Amino acid sequence: MTAKPAKRGKRESAAETIRLRLMLGGEIALGPGKADLLEGIRETGSIAAAGRRLGMSYKRAWLLVDTMNRCFRTPLVEAGSGGRAGGGAALTALGEDVLARFRRMEAAAARACAADLKMLKGRLAK
């Protein structure tokens, strides 16, 4: 396997990939799962639907969004009130920018580590 950024639903094992996490204080402000959640929100317009795509409950998805929103100066996700009409959610301009930058960072880390990762993989126990 090569050192590619992880894709939603097709993650490589931890021994075969580089996983980037942005820590702010004691919290993970952004990591691969949160980035996948942001992509899901952008694509579906819904925190609940994005969470379902990733096999998580609405509560878990909402807690992840809340953590991300608290870690940055302004929210990454804006959500409307629920109810019969449905609330919906969307990435803010900052959310779009943070997601794009995180994905670029993942790709750069994968490229930078590809040769060493390949060598290490060859030395893993079967």
pLDDT tens-digit map of 56-110: 999 999 999 999 999 999 999 999 876 666 679 999 999 999 999 999 999 999 9
Confidence tier at 18 by pLDDT (50, 70, 90): confident
Q: Helix, strand, or coil here: 99?
A: helix
Q: Helix, strand, or coil here: 80?
A: coil
Say how many Å lie between the first and final Cα of the chain, rounded: 15
Q: What is the pTM of this model?
A: 0.82
Asked if 105 and 19 count as a contact pair (C-beta separation under 8 A), the reply is no
The domains located in the chain, with CATH, are 23-122 (1.10.10.10)
Q: Helix, strand, or coil here: 54?
A: coil
Q: What's the CA angle centered on 36, arms 32 and 38, to 5 degrees?
A: 115
